[in-house]
Amino acid sequence: MYDTMEIDSDNDNNPFTFWHKQKDNLSLLAKIAKSVLVIPASSAESERHFSIAGQIVTELRSSLDPEYVEALVVLKEAYINKMWPTVARNE
């Protein structure tokens, strides 16, 4: 069925849109495409997280629970990316 499909000329060349439209006709292929298309193109983000975790988990802090390490990595990423929430001041 996929081999004989005709692609609409108004297609926006977005694979997510295409597979979303085809989820009823080609459900198995759409599920496979969805799981493949979410794989990041590079490992830079995960390497950055591991680097930050390496700065947090030192020899003195080697017994930190993984949940705390994850929370600290998220907080440091938010701080670095200036995504820190601002507090409204009552004046």
**What does the pLDDT look like over 20-76, one tens digit per residue?**
888 888 889 888 888 888 877 788 888 888 999 999 998 888 898 999 999 999 999
Average pLDDT estimate for 3-14: 69
Torsion of CA 64, 61, 76, 43, to 10 degrees: -80
Q: Are 18 and 11 in contact (CB under 8 A)?
A: yes
pTM: 0.47
Give the pLDDT band (50/70/90) at residue 83. Answer: confident
